[in-house]
């Protein structure tokens, strides 16, 4: 989180919070509990008490008016809704809030805070549980899976004149290198199988390093 101290109170800026909030304790008013409930990152509930229109002077493009949710929190939070509305950018390296239209900056400082990131949707819903159960759907694998857990077959459709080639065996060491390299490149999206009838065959050779060691390499393809 970043702390902005140009205002009457220190505002905490976080892009992770869905909405901007203002502490109930900062207002000397009798507020009625509302039906809307916000959620912290740990799933705990945050009570809300309506909203209040605040005018913030960050030294960017005049005073910025935005309705802040009055919530049972300890510090005011500028969330993603505020940043999106006014088109403000967070520069993490320079630790400032940037207005891309005027190129004006509002400096802040990074600090640790126990203030919760406010969410409008609970992370304990049945949909979140479903995604947690099947994490592989939303995460990219850095390495090719060792065990195949499905019966899906990969094939290359061919059309046009038939392509023929004399069957030949690769050296076991060369075959191992080829499989590892292409599994890695396919997994990373670096390459894909060619559907051309004129795709080149693999060419294998032994390359001598300057140190005198032998290194197995893959010959280049024409496509």
Dihedral in degrees, nearest 10, Cα atoms 37, 40, 44, 45:
-10
CATH classification at residue 61: 2.40.70.10
Q: Which residue has the higher pLDDT, 111 or 14?
A: 14
* Domain assignment present for 15: yes
Of 160-164, 166-170, 219-223, where does mean pLDDT reach its minimum?
A: 219-223
Q: Which letter, b or e, does each residue of 51-87 get, where b requires 16 or more Cβ atoms within 10 Å of its Cβ?
A: bbebebebebeeebebebbbbebebbbbbbbbbeebe
Sorting pLDDT into bands at 50, 70 and 90, what band is 187? confident
* Domain assignment present for 128: no
What pLDDT, on the 0 to 100 scale, is given for residue 66? 92
Q: Say if residue 105 is in the same domain as residue 176.
A: no
Q: Say if residue 101 is in the same domain as residue 183.
A: no
Average confidence (pLDDT) over 101-124: 79
* Domain assignment present for 40: yes
* Domain assignment present for 45: yes
Average confidence (pLDDT) over 63-85: 91
Sorting pLDDT into bands at 50, 70 and 90, what band is 222? very low
Mean pLDDT of the chain: 75
Q: Which of 89, 109, 129 is the last residue of a domain?
A: 109
Q: Say if residue 105 is in the same domain as residue 177.
A: no
pLDDT tops 50 at residue 40: yes
Sorting pLDDT into bands at 50, 70 and 90, what band is 31? confident
Number of structural domains, the chain?
Answer: 2
What pLDDT, on the 0 to 100 scale, is given for residue 217? 40
Answer for the pair 100, 36: CB distance below 8 angstroms, yes or no. Answer: no
Of 74-78, 82-86, 127-131, where does mean pLDDT reach its minimum?
A: 127-131
What pLDDT, on the 0 to 100 scale, is given for residue 15? 83
* Candidate ranges 47-56, 101-110, 115-124, 150-159; pick with highest mean pLDDT: 47-56
The distance in angstroms from the start CA to the end CA of the chain is 49
What pLDDT, on the 0 to 100 scale, is given for residue 189? 74
* Domain assignment present for 164: no
β-partners of residue 77 are 12, 21
Q: Which residues contact 165 (CB under 8 A, 6 or more apart)?
A: 201
- pTM for this model (two decimals): 0.54
Q: Which of 109, 125, 146 is the last residue of a domain?
A: 109
* Domain assignment present for 114: no
Average confidence (pLDDT) over 64-86: 91
Instruction: Reduce the secondary structure of the chain to three states and give it as a string.
Output: CEEECCCCCCEEECCCCCCCEEEHHHCCCCCCCCCCEEECCCCCEEEEEEEEEEEEECCCCCEEEEEEEEECCCCCEECHHHHHHHCCEEECCCCEEEECCCCEEEECEECCCCCCCCECCCCCCHHHHHHHHCHHHCCCCCCCCCCCCCCCCCCCCCCCCCCCCCCCCCCHHHHHHHHHHHHHHHHHCCCCCCCCCCCCCCCEEEEECCCCCEEEEECCCCC
Q: Which residue has the higher pLDDT, 174 or 155?
A: 174
Q: Say if residue 98 is in the same domain as residue 16.
A: yes
Sorting pLDDT into bands at 50, 70 and 90, what band is 68? very high
Q: Which domain holds residue 9?
A: 2-109
* Domain assignment present for 66: yes
* Domain assignment present for 51: yes
Q: Which residue has the higher pLDDT, 155 or 46?
A: 46
Q: Which of 109, 126, 152 is the last residue of a domain?
A: 109
């Amino acid at each position: 989180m970043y702390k902005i101290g140009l205002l009457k109170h220190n505002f905490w800026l976080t892009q992770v919070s869905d909405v901007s909030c203002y502490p109930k304790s900062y207002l000397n008013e009798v507020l009625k509990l509302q039906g809307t409930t916000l959620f912290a990152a740990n799933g705990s509930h945050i009570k809300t008490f309506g909203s209040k229109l605040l005018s913030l002077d960050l030294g960017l493009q005049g005073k910025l008016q935005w309705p802040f949710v009055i919530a049972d929190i300890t510090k005011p939070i500028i969330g993603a809704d505020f940043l999106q509305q006014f088109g403000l950018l967070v520069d993490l390296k320079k630790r400032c809030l940037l207005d891309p239209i005027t190129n004006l900056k509002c400096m802040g400082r990074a600090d640790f805070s126990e203030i919760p990131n406010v969410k409008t949707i609970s992370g304990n819903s049945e949909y979140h549980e479903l995604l947690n159960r099947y994490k592989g759907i939303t995460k990219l694998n850095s390495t090719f899976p060792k065990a195949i857990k499905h019966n899906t077959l990969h094939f290359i459709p061919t059309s046009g004149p038939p392509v023929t080639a004399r069957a030949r065996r690769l050296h076991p060491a060369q075959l191992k290198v080829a499989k590892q390299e292409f599994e890695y490149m396919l997994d990373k999206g670096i390459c894909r199988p060619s559907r051309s009838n004129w795709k080149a065959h693999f060419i294998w050779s032994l390359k001598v390093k300057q140190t005198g060691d032998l290194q197995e390499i893959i010959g280049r393809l024409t496509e």
